[in-house]
A and B are shown apart, each in its own frame.
Chain A
Amino acid sequence: MTFKFLYDFSILTQAIDKAITGSMSPFWAMITEMTIIGVLILAFYAVVGLYLVYAERKVCAFMQNRVGPNRVGPWGFFQTIADLIKLLMKELIPIKAADKLLFNIAPFIVIIAGFMAIAAVPFAKGLHAVDFNIGVFYVMAVSSIGVIGILLAGWSSNNKYSLIGAMRSGAQIVSYELSVGMSLITIVILAGSMQLSTIVEGQHDLWFIFKGHVPAIIAFIVFLIAGTAETNRGPFDLAEAESELTAGFHVEYSGIKFAFFFLAEYMNMFIVASIAATVFLGGWMPFHIPGLEGFNHVMDYIPPFLWYFVKTAFVIFLMMWFKWTFPRLRIDQLLTLEWKYLLPINLFNILLMALMVLMGWYF
């Protein structure tokens, strides 16, 4: 690659790696590195989860002519931290008729799914925990483990409301997983790789959404719809469906176990948004226009993680916008939308993209 990046984090990460492997045996070096990365990702997960909750409250307040949290700290900045402390101190109500083991592990499965998916996301050049050659596939596979947690939660609560919620969620995620995968495959065809870092670097001249024009834009829209559905967020929040099933699958959970589901929902949103940003909007790649060298150079001075977070925030804002303006779909309409509209569009779109790549009709 002849292209030079101003901010290359691989130098930093490799230096740290060298220092650790140089000072201890390979086994302990690996353990140390894994611990450091694990702690970092966990901290990142918690902070992002908490502040997405805060952001959602502010965004929804903005859409509803309200102020939103504004008492704890400046602009209510510490509100969600106060809420977390409250949730930590709340009683965990034991359910007599619940399947204890499954009931207790369900929130952890949901959390772990998100936790694993975040590891593969590149935040900047060289700034990712793992860089698979099948990164897209890995993220897809891992993020769909979460549905098992939801199904278990609904089933083990021994409550009819939560069972209905869990079954809806199962039907929904299994269907929309297809569309998410297909729309990503469309871009994989264009990128010629499944490795997330290669996909990002492939967008150094132009982001894929512009490079692949029509099919890429269709794939982006499909991905946004299917991604929102996969995170169980409104207008696809049928699993939770407050006005129908009170709280759906997590109706019996209290305290910090409920908070796990709550955090996982926001983390899933973050993951879907960061995949969308990485695959369609260039991830950490600055905005470049081929031919305008001066402009491209100025853009390079903006740090890559800033690019990454702004793009992710943009997609998250879109998803919040959906939630706070649309009414909820019904389960049959939800499945109709996927199987009768999104899937055929997607299949056609893949063909279109393949044809385009073959003929070289992209920028």
Chain B
Amino acid sequence: MTETTENYQLDQEEYIINMGPQHPSTHGVLRFEVSLKGEMVRNIRPHCGYIHRGIEKMCEKNTYQQIIHLTDRLDYLSAHSNNELVCLTVEEALEIEVPERVKYIRTIMAELNRIASHQLWWCSMGMDMGGLTCFFYGLRDREPILDIFEETCGGRLLLSYNCPGGVMYDLHPNFQKRVKDYIKYFRKKLPEYDALLSGNIIFLERTKGLGVLTLEDAISFGVTGPTGRASGFSCDIRKTQPYSAYSKVDFKEILYTEGDTFHRYKARIDEMWESMNIIEQLIDNIPEGDYAVKMKPIIKLPAGEYYKSVETARGELGLYLISDGNKSPYRFKLRSPNFINLGALASMVKDTKIADLVAISASLDLVIPDIDR
């Protein structure tokens, strides 16, 4: 049965189970309407909207400085990249060149944020697979990053560190030392992740060859981020349209061709290594200079349409902005990577088991508030 109309006809032995909106493995208020035949998943229909807060609409009523604080709440694990996206769009529209120092700071912070996000994903992936110890290993290593964030800008999760024209405050004097110490520490700790989960025979048996997303599907669904790259879709915005200081660093784009759950997992682990490489290349060379360009208190973008995208930990976050020349945008449309990645889930879970459904959706690394916005 391939049709997914509203009046989906159940087979005689099929039944429907609602996973969510309150369910341990959806990590938020997402509901999967799963039709099952015994243990086998026949069809799945995601229902979103439980945490719709109208962020896009709110953005259309606020000034550009205020919008930044709203975008924190989209994909809260990539708060820095979300902020950065709005700032980059505004700067591009006003044709402001930000100081080199700002570019370096933004890149380092974004990569730290990416590591923290992938760590939390690893925690929840382990937990969804039934290995509860992973959760504490991941949180243990995530904590120092949050401390660095706290020292830099006061926020631990929702940073709001960017502002149009630069960043809010200059770096803390300890910043470089702490980041370097952390990279040294985490290079020792990351192999533990492999020892605990990636090398485990049960984990390998459960993830290898499971939930394959083909390259054609990945491209036609528009799946980006590590999920898309595990299927061989070269979609890293940091490479294809470099922003901030990414053009100055040398890093690999993690690409796999298998597209199964295990390689989505592997892609994220490898990205953590790459992020550490990027930070190491930048941390010693942060140029001196201003940490922000002086901006007018009320920013008005020239009338027109703008599109800018950044690479968050989950994929391409795009912002399509129409300005009519006023102090707030006329239209503020986000291309959310989670929403689009969720669309591909149904094609991956057909004829797998309930346990596989949990593993596959964990490997997509969905953040629900970003789906609903």
Contact = CB atoms under 8 A, between A and B. Distances in A.
Interface of A: 60, 63-66, 160-161, 164, 168, 234-235, 237-238, 241-246, 324-333
Contact of B24 (A168, A234, A242, A332): A242
A164 B39 contact: yes
Given A160-B17, A333-B206, A328 B136 contact: no
Interface string B331-367: 0000000000000000000000111101000000000
Question: B-side binding surface: helix, strand, loop or mixed?
Answer: helix
Interface stretch (B197-205, B272-280, B304-312, B317-325): B197-205
B269 to A, nearest CB: 15
Nearest to B17: A160
Contacts of A64: 132-133, 135-137
16 contacts: A60-B133, A64-B132, A64-B136, A160-B17, A164-B39, A243-B24, A244-B25, A324-B133, A325-B133, A327-B206, A330-B355, A330-B356, A332-B353, A333-B202, A333-B205, A333-B206
Contacts of A234: 130, 132
B356 A65 contact: no
A174 B203 CA distance: 25
A18 to B, nearest CB: 52
B24 A327 contact: no
A164 B354 contact: yes
A330 B24 contact: no
**Which of B135, B196, B197, B355: most chain A Cβ within 10 A?**
B355
B225 interface: no
A311 B215 CA distance: 54
B200 A326 contact: yes
A219 to B, nearest CB: 22
A224 to B, nearest CB: 16
Nearest to B210: A330
Interface in B115-165: 126-133, 135-137, 140
A65 B131 contact: no
The winner among B137, B140, B205 for most chain A CB atoms within 10 A is B205
B39 A235 contact: no
The 9 closest A-B pairs by CB, nearest first: A328-B130, A64-B136, A327-B129, A327-B131, A243-B25, A243-B128, A330-B355, A327-B130, A160-B17
A136 to B, nearest CB: 30
B130 A246 contact: no
Contacts of B202: 235, 326-329, 333
Contacts of B135: 64
Interface of B: 15, 17, 23-25, 39, 126-133, 135-137, 140, 196-197, 200, 202-203, 205-206, 353-356, 358
Contacts of B132: 60, 64, 234, 324
Given A326-B202, A327-B200, A329-B202, A244 B355 contact: yes
A241 B136 contact: no
Given A64-B132, A327-B197, 6 more contacts: A324-B132, A328-B130, A328-B202, A328-B355, A329-B202, A330-B205
B274 to A, nearest CB: 25
A237 B136 contact: no
B40 to A, nearest CB: 10
Interface centre among A66, A164, A237 (most CB of B within 10 A): A164
Given A325-B131, A327-B200, A245 B354 contact: yes
A243 B206 contact: no
B23 A63 contact: no
Contacts of A160: 15, 17
Contact of A243 (B39, B127, B200, B356): B127
B203 A327 contact: yes
A172 to B, nearest CB: 13
Contacts of B39: 164, 168, 331
A235 B130 contact: yes
Contacts of A238: 355
Nearest to A331: B39
Contact of A241 (B131, B203, B355, B356): B355
A66 B127 CA distance: 17
A168 B38 CA distance: 10
Of A64, A65, A66, most buried by chain B (CB within 10 Å of CB) is A64
B130 A331 contact: no
Given A160-B17, A329-B206, A63 B354 contact: no
B69 to A, nearest CB: 33
A329 B353 CA distance: 12
A324 B126 CA distance: 11
